[in-house]
Amino acid sequence: MSTAPRVGVLALQGDFREHLGVLRELGAEAVPVRRPDELASVSGLVIPGGESTVMDKLSRAFGLREPLLEAIAGGLPVYGTCAGLIMLADRVLDAIEGQQTLGGLDVTVRRNAFGSQLDSFETDIPMPVLGEPAVHAVFIRAPVVESLGEKAAAIGALDDGRVVAVEQGSLLGTSFHPEVTGDYRFHEYFLSKVRAA
Ligand SMILES: NC(=O)CC[C@H](N)C(=O)O
């Protein structure tokens, strides 16, 4: 019998409680991560949606930036949603002055890419890695992946071709919020990476 994987959700800011709930529903031992020792105790990490500029500042204030960089470099499976995707991106457009990301995903993302007229919307996105049916995706002041480097792969795009889901080894990122839809295939996919790591 395999034991439940212990996974963390970065709990500095944003909708971390929703992710903790989903991961627990899927049978994982899910814990909030705010301190380096908590990060060291998990075998996977979700970076939730929220506000990437605030998460960036808080990660430095909490002494988590360096441990997070080391964990990502060391191959920890990490899944970033929305602001979490921004945190995982190597390059960011429309960042605020001084904003830093953790990086890891060889992509360029644009923050708040849908503008102020269309802050939030929902649509179905075919996602071959998850099979049928298409994923119902909820976007909230979301980023898009404007370009991908060689190491990253697009795994989901809008009808107009804009990439909103990416994967690179043990890293996974989505512009949208699977934790609010009741369709937990993305979290299951992430947990399969954790188990395989
Ligand atoms: N729902 C979200 O996570 C929004 C992301 C936010 N616009 C940012 O730049 O960080």
Q: pLDDT for 83-106, tens place per residue?
A: 999 999 999 999 999 999 999 999
Domains and CATH numbers, the chain: 6-196 (3.40.50.880)
Q: Is 77 helix (H, G, I), strand (E, B) or coil?
A: coil
User: Tokens in use for 175?
Assistant: 């512009």
Ligand 1: residue of 10, 46, 52, 174 to mutate (most ligand atoms within 8 A of CB) is: 52
Parallel, antiparallel, or unpaired: how do β-strands 45-47 and 6-10 relate?
parallel
Entry pTM:
0.96
Residue 156 CB–ligand 1 contact under 6 Å: no
ipTM score for this prediction: 0.95
Asked if 177 is an active-site residue, the reply is yes
Question: Over pLDDT 70: what percentage of the chain?
Answer: 97
Residue 116: its pLDDT value, please? 63
How many other C-beta atoms lie within 10 A of the C-beta of residue 176? Answer: 27
Whats the size of the chain, residue-wise?
197
- Distance of CA 188 from the midpoint of ligand 1 (Å): 23
Q: Which of 18, 19, 82, 187 is catalytic?
A: 82
Question: First vs last Cα of the chain: how many Å apart?
Answer: 18
Stretch 30-58: mean pLDDT: 98
CA distance 42 to 9: 9
Question: Within its chain, how far is the Cα of 33 from the centroid?
Answer: 15
Asked if 136 is an active-site residue, the reply is no
How would you classify residue 2: left for phi > 0, otherwise alpha for psi between -120 and 50, otherwise beta? beta
Residue 111 CB–ligand 1 contact under 6 Å: yes
